[in-house]
Structure 1
Amino acid sequence: MQYVPNIIFVGLLIFGIGFFAKNVGKLKRNIFLGKDTDVSDNKPQRWKNMARIALGQTKMVVRPIAGFLHIVVYIGFVIINIEVLEIIIDGISGTHRIFAFLGPVYDFLIASFEILALLVIIAVVAFWVRRNVIKLKRFLKPEMEGWPKKDGNLILYIELVLMFLFLTMNATDFQLQQLGAAHYTQAGAFPVSGLLVPLFDGMQESSLILIERTAWWLHIAGILFFLNYLYYSKHLHILLAFPNTFYGKLTPKGQFPNSDIVTKEVKMMMDPDADPFAASAEDAPDPEKFGASDVQDLNWVQLLNAYTCTECGRCTSECPANQTGKKLSPRKIMMDTRDRLEEVGKNIDANKGEFKEDGKQLLGDYITNEELWACTSCNACVEACPVSIDPLSIIMDMRQYLVMEQSAAPSDLNNMMGNIENNGAPWPFNQMDRLNWSQES
């Protein structure tokens, strides 16, 4: 009977990690539904960007209050979860505080964990107030209604519960140590949970053990739940921020990629010696869909971007089109892309690994033409994103589809493109007449 808790713990661990691995496989499958793209260049710079942006959180502190609070939660959660290693070893082997042999080092670690846990609680409460009491404008946009708002608050509640369970576990453990209870090794320093000890004064040893064990089990179960909840939450960026910043765009923000087919056509037009009829049918490139109308037309880095979106709204709050009342919200572009990608993934799961046409697509069913044409292509959203997401690349690919596949550009833009084709300039003047203005007195 003494090994029953260990067996239950191992079973819980296998189930939690197994379910997480399954979700990771699904996530990887969905991301690689996108087109292949070469992001193997300049790896030293990519590693530097990942270390600076994802690990160093340099773009978070552009907004000091939110940035500082986020760093507290980030560091607190990462460091406190080092303690999970001890819990796992104790749970498997039946030991208690197996790292206690570290002595003063262990005392320092536990004290640090507790102080960080308190700071995380303070930061999480501040985040909750900002969302639900102060009601910052960027959290009140239409795309944040319903599940996105609930998800943001639910994450905060989960973090609070995990921190309180950690402190409760330590407070009762400390009390049991003082009582000389069997199996409770004298170890650790408890500057925060020690303040909770008076709450448990007068309790019998059996009651304290029940509370300590309950908090211990709920804490590790909560961590496994949180790990698996990430896939369904905006907090997936905890895992994806690192690869996303590594594969982020390295070229200047104003530089847009060229279509190889269009480039060849233009070069042929500009070459006076080129014979437009020289290419044989065998040498002609396969017909290619220009731009993107659905998630499968985007490249896999763009789909990784969609899953990495933190829904923080910094992109939308910086967007000049959104500030002037236009429907465009870069955050919504990323959320819509992720939602459509999830829908495609579920379609594949339901049809035994094959996608069956469902009569929907990203363009029209999720993102409207009005949103796309409201974009000024200023790159403010790209600059503002704390994890190197590029909403503009998706917007431009979808615009390309509208222009080159559907001829659905706004009339003013069609006029401009017609002028460029006919006159070599955006203006409706013949090339021979362009300098006539200089002759006017």
Structure 2
Amino acid sequence: MEYLPNILFTIILVLGIGYFVRNIKKLIRNIKLGQEVDVSDNKSERWKNMARIALGQSKMVKRPISGFLHVIVYVGFIIINIEVLEIIIDGLFGTHRIGLKVLPKSVYGFLIGSFEILAVLVLVSVIVFWLRRNVIKIKRFLSSEMKGWPKNDGNIILYFEVVLMCLFLVMNATDTSFQAISSGNIISQFIAPWFEGLSAETLHIVERTAWWLHIVGILIFLNYLYFSKHLHILLAFPNTYFGSLDPKGKVNNLEAVTAEVKLMMDPNADPFAAAPEGTEDEVPAKFGASDVMDLNQVQLLSAYTCTECGRCTSACPANLTGKKLSPRKIMMDTRDRLEEVGKNIDANNGKFKDDGKQLLGDYITNEELWACTTCNACVEECPVSINPLSIILDMRRYLVMEQSAAPMELNNMMTNIENNGAPWPYNQMDRLNWKDE
């Protein structure tokens, strides 16, 4: 019975980490459903972007209040969880505060004291975030796509953080051996008096309960991430690394279209020549995207990375003028459809069974796509380098080149360019008439 707590701890740890790894493998599988894209260029610049944007939070602080509070929560939560290493060692080997045995008391006290201060700062920041969402009700958290689960998810993660920080402080406050060294208990020394009058045995039970709930809570939090927008805690790093390095106004060309144009302009090319052997039965590449499998892997990674903060939508001129487009919804819809496809694959022995649905139409409407002005405001605002515009453009391409479903004004313009060499409806011979007026 002496080793029962250690065995129980090991089982919980293995199950928690195992379930997390299983979900991460599923996430990687879903992302790989997208088209491959070459992101092997300019590695040094990519590393700099990841360090500056994901680690350094450089784009978060453009909005000082929320940015500063987010930095506190981010830094505090990451640093405090360094103590998880000590908890894991203690849980596996039956030790108690192993850090005190391997570190000088002053160093250990400095670390725990820093953790306690950060825990209080995280608590304050989380409470402010909760007030902003639920009392002040900031407009970008009230959009139609933020009803139901997205709204609840934002609050659930705040409650998680409050509980974990409180358990950490209570664990320290009721640990009589830790309080006795009078080093590192910068905050917990003021909480300890709340438990005066309790017997040593009861204090030990409270401390052990807080200890167990803290580590189990962290494992639950870790596995909750897969189902939450807070997956960005992990994915912000690869997403900023793989983010586009091109100027924001640059639009890529479709390789299939480029090859066709080159063929048309090659005076030596024979358009009636037989196709190369072995290519007769190949399905022509789809122009643009109508479903998540048509998007590239970086776009699908971005869908999972979306923080649902709404900065993109709050800066979108189309949305600000009352149009239906919300760049945040574009990313949320892409992720939801990708999850639906993933569940379809799981239910059909690893193969996708046509469900009669697709991203275009069932999730994202033509009206949303054509409302976009391609101004790149959403791309500029995103704190983790997500590019909703690239998805919008790929789906527009599908509408125009596969379905000829562009708005009438655009169709007229393209017809004029094709026939007259200009967007205006007059003959090419009359293009210089203006100079005679």
Structural mapping, 1:422-441, within 5 Å: 422-440=419-437
Separation in 1 of the partners of 2:178 and 2:223?
34
Indicate whether 1:261 and 2:256 are aligned.
yes
Contact 1:57 1:386 in 2 (8 A): yes
* In structure 2, C-alpha distance between the alignment counterparts of 1:276 and 1:134, rounded to whole Å: 67
Q: Which of 271, 274, 279 is matched with 1:277 structurally?
A: 271
Measured against aligned partners, the alpha-carbon deviations of 1:246-297 in whole angstroms (never above 9, x if no partner) come to 00000111111101221123234445x3445264322778511111100001
- Distance of 1:373 and 1:261 partners within structure 2: 23
Deviation of the 1:417 alpha carbon: 0.6
* Residues 274 and 435 (structure 1), Cα distance of their counterparts in 2 relative to 1, 3 Å cut: farther
Kept in 2, the 8 Å contact 1:106–1:187? The answer is no
CA distance in 1 between counterparts of 2:273 and 2:116 reads: 72
Residue of structure 1 equivalent to 2:224:
229
Matched, 1:37 2:32: no
Query: 1:130 aligns to what?
Result: 132
Shift of residue 198 of structure 1? 1.2
3-state SS, counterpart of residue 245 of structure 2: coil
Name 2:123's counterpart in structure 1.
121
Pairs within 5 Å for 1:197-236: 197-236=192-231
Matches within 5 A, 1:280-295: 280-282=274-276, 286-295=283-292
Aligned partner of 1:249 among 244, 248, 252: 244
**8 A Cα contact 1:382 1:390, kept in partner:** yes
Unaligned runs of 5+ in 1: 181-185
2-side partners of 1:177 and 1:117: how far apart?
Answer: 17
1:71 is matched with: 71
Alignment check: 8 A CA contact 2:172 2:178 kept: no
Retained in 1: the 8 A contact 2:10–2:92?
yes
1:388 aligns with 2:385: yes
What is residue 402 of structure 1 aligned with on the other side?
A: 399
Deviations 1:15-34 (A, max 9, x none): 00000000001000000000
How far 1:351 sits from its partner (Å)?
0.4
Tell me the equivalent position of 2:141.
139
Deviation of the 1:176 alpha carbon: 4.7
The match for 2:315 among 302, 314, 318 is 318
The CA distance in 1 between the partners of 2:81 and 2:273, in whole Å, is 62
Q: Give the letter for the 1:216 counterpart.
A: W
Check the 8 A contact 2:173/2:192 in 1, yes or no: yes
Within 2, Cα distance between the matches of 1:268 and 1:199?
A: 81
Return the alpha-carbon distance in structure 1 between the equivalents of residues 26 and 79 of structure 2.
Answer: 28
In structure 2, do the counterparts of structure 1 residues 320 and 274 end up closer, same or farther at CA, with 3 Å as the change threshold?
farther
Shift of 1:429: 2.0
Aligned to 2:168: 166
CA contact (8 A) 1:319 1:330 kept: yes
Query: How far did 1:355 drift?
Result: 0.4
Structure 1 residues 286 and 346: CA distance shift in structure 2, 3 A:
closer
* Structure 1 SS opposite 2:30: helix
**Per-residue CA shift, 1:275-323, capped at 9, x if unaligned?**
4526432277851111110000101110000000000000000000000
Summarize deviations over 1:375-421 as a string: whole Å, max 9, x none. Answer: 00110000000000000000000000000100000000000111111
Q: Work out which of the residue numbers 183, 186, 191 in structure 2 matches 1:191.
A: 186
Partners of 1:100 and 1:187 within 8 A in 2: no
User: 1:382·1:392 contact (CA, 8 Å) conserved in 2?
Assistant: yes
8 Å contact kept, 1:30–1:345: yes
* Structure 2: runs of 5 or more not aligned: none
C-alpha RMSD over aligned residues: 1.3
Report if the CA contact (8 A) 1:340-1:362 is conserved.
Answer: yes
Secondary structure (helix, strand or coil) at the match of 1:46 reads helix
Residue 338 of structure 2: aligned partner: 341
Paired residue type of 1:131: R
Distance 1:420 1:269 in 2: 18
1:8 is aligned to 8
Letter in 2 for 1:376: T
